[in-house]
Structure 1
Amino acid sequence: MKKIIKNGTIVTASDTYQAEILIEDGKITQIGANLPALGAEVVDAKGCLVFPGGIDPHTHLDMPFGGTVTKDDFESGTIAAAFGGTTTVIDFCLTNKGEPLKNAIQIWHDKSREKAVIDYGFHLMISEINENVLNELPQVINEEGITSFKVFMAYKNVFQADDETLFRTLVSAKEHGALVMVHAENGDVIDYLTKKALEEGKTEPIYHALTRPTALEGEATGRAAKLTGLANSQLYVVHVSCADAVERITEARSEGFDVWGETCPQYLVLDQSYLEKPNFEGAKYVWSPPLREKWNQEVLWNALKSGQLQTLGSDQCSFDFKGQKDLGRDDFTKIPNGGPIIEDRLSILFSEGVKKGRISLNQFVDLTSTRAAKLFGLFPKKGTISIGADADLVIFDPNSERVISAETHHMAVDYNAFEGLKVTGEPVSVLVRGDYVVRDKQFVGKPGSGQYLKRAKYNTNSPLTKDQTLSIN
């Protein structure tokens, strides 16, 4: 059915203006004043902002980790995402050494099919590089539309890849048009520090942070950036948490390296002291990289404002406090890493960023939607409000106030990392390809309605890319 959205203020990454939006067959077909409404459902957005649907470039739904599986799967996780104003997620597909990449991709298709209520795509983990993997990569890119690969520099003996794997992945990505993502922490040194802490009887959650100092995130970020420059390739650093990593990204970009950075809401509003909560409550805040000393928050906000960090992911990776997080009650290394973030990503950035004058409305849209769409091959189908784009839209009340709580969230997990935080601004209605998923704060979507997205190749014409003197084949 045709829809026409009236009386709202449209906000994109570049513009803010009053206009009507006509939606037909899931697409935006007209934008303007006094559009013909004959036969169309009229949606009154008076007093609200109209954003392009949020794109969360960093989620872990139905993911095995540490002997358990994340609490939120593609159904509960995407429902929660929709309530938060996110209409597309890109989830991380894990691989196993020695197995064909296509096997792992099929597993993720099986996890998501008939469950997702919003659109979704996959990143692919690269844990080893050999001739079999190299031969599969063109098919992964061209047939599956998976154009981003993740390499872990941490989690030794679990996910961690060596520098040769990272470098060869960067070289291959440059050749085939993919974007390489890194979890940047020095896993070898972290392994030593965690073993030493346990030997000394230091088992509480706070030691998760103390054994993963910011210097190790900065070192790994800088190392990955230097390898990217050497390969003349492209890099996206996920979940940047501290000043050390921001400095390395800023340096790399100033040298002309094609390096991008993402941070997450938890690093903007929570800090290391949360891991010291009594009665093992600190385990709720165990994820990697860990929460940092509070002063890092202002560095991250400034990096978002100045453009040295370009996206906001959630790193959604939820585990129940009771029955999952408490697996590490006597050993912090056994606490499943991750938190429930997906639902509150937009509200926190709007409330703490736009409302407090740290970023502009247009920057908010760029950080939560447009930049991810461009980096990950979804623009202009996703990530903006323009004629021909998918009608993925968020009708957002900028003045609504609420208190974040597990009692009212839509995730399946038994706690909320931002419990008690008062935020201003929340989605009222959310549409995916012109159909309501959330209408007047009520879920009206259908599991399985979300579509898998084959993404375009990375745009190698980035303004940061420059010719290098060394060519590596």
Structure 2
Amino acid sequence: MRTLISGGTVLSSTGAHQADVLVDGETIAAVTAPGVFGADVKGTVDSVLDATGKYVMPGGIDAHTHMEMPFGGAFSHDTFATGTTAAAWGGTTTIIDFAVQKKGTSLLSTLDTWHGKADGNCAIDYGFHMIVSDVNDTSLKEMETCIDGGVTSFKMFMAYPGVFYSTDGEILRAMHKARETGSTIMMHAENGIAIDELAAQAVAEGRTDPVQHGLTRPPELEGEATSRAIALAKVTGSPLYIVHLSAAQALAEVAQARDTGQNVFAETCPQYLYLSIEDMAKPGFEGAKYVASPPLRDKSHQADLWRGLRTNDLSVVSTDHCPFCFKDQKELGRADFRAIPNGMPGVEHRMDLLHQGVVAGEISLARWVEACSTTPARMFGLYPRKGVIAPGSDADVVIYDPAARQTLSAETHHMNVDYSAYEGFELTGRVETVLSRGSIVVSADGFTGSTGHGRFLSRDLCQYLN
């Protein structure tokens, strides 16, 4: 199958230029000056997609999702089938999900379980990170086998004592292994011990509404944990990737470390750029829809996060997509905010929401592509197969209409969740057509892909390490 995408503006992490893109089978065959193929092109290709007035960009890579994730007796409501389909609707053609090790189980059996969940069920390509919650001699050795299997990044938690929490000593051991193998430690950086004490005090005093989730997880405790994680990484020589950074205090620690040349990277998420703790304070129990960790912050943090994206102190924008329905799931915490499943939906809207930053002048077109596609490809060992429109790369291509208008709503989104965190948001720009490895999966005809099209991606090591 040969497809020509003609007349569009091709976007990359270095700029924009007018070009035509020839897709042959699953890969990009050529990127040429406009019109090179001439008027008789229809005799040499199977289809022509007119991208006049549109952007042609590499498919998005969401490096932080949680499909079918267990949390507090519930499971996130998107399956790999529904979640990857929703991602495709929003221009994301690759996800990297988290395999969740339970204490007392092995990393390898965990990875097998997650392969079983995803294999044959994904509409787009996918990879895995591994959550390491039980650090011991066996799991440290198994990290090597995971790397051999294409899982080259390992997430740890300074939060959630008794569930995922690791001590500083355990983190140190895992970081030594990461340094030895060239793999990457990803860190949920919040001081979970202090947070649990503040939360217990709140409940004892009768403060149980959803906004307490944010008030008992103050930004100072994210900043402190980020500083501590950076210090441990410096001692061990391990690279460090801070996930879902939400607070100015944490960003300052990352910026300082990067200024000294340390291999420290960080991502943020759209919810921290557009939503705030005021959403958690909505009347009734509506605030439960916005409970995630780290929590939404005061709006004053948003300017710092946008600046961090411009300066590359925030390297990636992911979603931390972890959707729990309001009915029957978020409602588990009506009597106690600590029982509200942590997580929000967003995999479908990341590309569109970040485009609003372009519209508002917060970031450039090149930075949009870089943060949503090219950098996560480089960070997690997928470049140049993914993350770029170039000959030989996978034909993961998005045709994007920058002038289209849309209104976000639970009534129209494709995520398997009963509310939208961005209900009523009016956006400029919209995905028009999506190709995944050369196959059109989203077009004016709707979703034309299929679950099972997506393939597991065995990833290389991070390409940014010194």
TM-score of the pair, normalised by structure 1: 0.96
Q: Distance in 1 between matches of 2:258 and 2:355?
A: 27
Counterpart check, 1:53 vs 2:59: yes
| 1:12-161 correspondence to structure 2 within 5 Å | 12-33=12-33, 34-35=36-37, 37=41, 38-142=44-148, 144-161=149-166
Tell me which amino acid in the other structure corresponds to 2:390: S
Out of 358, 362, 370, the position equivalent to 2:362 is 358
Specify the alignment match of 1:427 in structure 2: 431
**Alpha-carbon shift at residue 441 of structure 1 (Å):** 6.1
CA deviations on 1:281-328 (whole Å, 9 max, x unpaired) are 000000000000011000100110111101000000001101100000
Deviations 1:78-124, CA, capped at 9 Å, x for gaps: 11101111000000110022322111001101111121100000000
Within a 5 Å distance, the mapping from 1:169-318 to structure 2 comes to: 169-318=174-323
Letter in 1 for 2:331: D
- After superposition, where does 1:441-452 map in structure 2 within 5 Å? 442-452=446-456
Are 2:380 and 1:385 aligned?
A: no
1:469 equivalent in structure 2: none
Alignment counterpart, residue 345 of structure 2, candidates 340, 343, 351: 340
Unaligned runs of 5+ in 1: 466-473
Q: Give the Cα separation in 2 of the matches to 1:408 and 1:146.
A: 34
Aligned equivalents of 1:246 and 1:29: distance in 2? 40
Work out the CA distance in 2 between the residues paired with 1:412 and 1:218.
33
Question: Percent identical across equivalent pairs?
Answer: 47
Aligned residues: 460
Q: Residue 10 of structure 1 corresponds to which residue in structure 2?
A: 10
Asked if the contact 1:428/1:441 (under 8 Å) is kept, the reply is no
- The one-letter code sitting in structure 1 at the alignment partner of 2:354 is L
* Aligned-residue CA RMSD (Å): 1.0
Give the match's secondary structure for 2:130: strand
Q: Tell me the equivalent position of 1:458.
A: 462
1:243 touches 1:300 (CA, 8 Å); kept in 2? yes
Whether the 8 Å CA contact 1:75–1:447 is kept in 2: the answer is yes
CA contact (8 A) 2:226 2:242 kept: yes
The CA distance in 2 between the partners of 1:404 and 1:80, in whole Å, is 13
Does the 8 Å CA contact 2:155/2:185 hold for their aligned counterparts? Answer: yes
Q: Is the 8 A contact 1:429 1:441 kept in 2?
A: no
Contact 1:173 1:180 in 2 (8 A): yes
C-alpha separation between the residues in 1 aligned to 2:216 and 2:251? 20
| Structure 2: distance between partners of 1:445 and 1:363 | 29
- SS of the aligned residue for 1:384 comes to coil
Equivalent residues of 1:56, 1:88 under 8 A apart? yes
**Hey, what's the Cα distance between the residues in 2 that align with 1:35 and 1:136?**
51
The separation in 1 between residues aligned to 2:245 and 2:413, in whole angstroms, is: 26
CA contact (8 A) 1:83 1:441 kept: no
Q: 2:374 aligns with which of 366, 370, 373?
A: 370
Q: What CA distance in whole angstroms lies between the structure 1 residues aligned with 2:440 and 2:289?
A: 33
Over 6 Å off, 4+ runs? none
User: Would the alpha carbon gap of residues 214 and 177 (structure 1) be closer, same or farther in structure 2, given more than 3 Å must change?
Assistant: same
Q: Deviations over 1:171-202 (max 9, x none)?
A: 11111121110000000000111111111111
CA distance in 1, matches of 2:31, 2:12: 13
C-alpha distance in 1, partners of 2:163/2:205? Answer: 24
1:129, distance to aligned residue in structure 2 (A): 2.1
Q: Which residue of 2 aligns with 1:471?
A: none
Deviations 1:47-66 (A, max 9, x none): 11011000000000011111
SS at match of 2:414: coil
When structure 1 is superposed on structure 2, of 165-174 and 340-349 the one drifting more is 165-174
Counterparts of 2:37 and 2:309, CA distance in 1: 37
**Matched residue of 1:19: which SS?**
strand
181-190 vs 39-48, greater mean Cα deviation:
39-48
Q: 1:19 to 1:255 in 2, by over 3 A?
A: same
Rounded Cα–Cα distance in structure 2 between residues aligned with 1:457 and 1:358: 31
2:133–2:163 contact (8 Å) kept in structure 1:
no
Q: Deviations over 1:220-261 (max 9, x none)?
A: 001001111111110000001010010010111112210001
Deviation of residue 168 (structure 1)?
Answer: 1.3
After superposition, give the CA deviation of every residue in 1:263-288 in whole Å (9 maximum; x if it has no partner): 00000010101111112000000000
Conserved? CA contact 1:226–1:252, under 8 Å: no
CA contact (8 A) 1:237 1:262 kept: yes
Instruction: Check conservation: 2:29, 2:392, Cα contact below 8 A.
Output: yes
Instruction: Determine which of 322, 326, 343 is the counterpart of 1:321.
Output: 326
Distance 1:336 1:360, change over 3 A: same
- Name structure 2 gaps, 5 residues minimum: none
SS at match of 1:370: helix
CA contact (8 A) 2:270 2:353 kept: yes
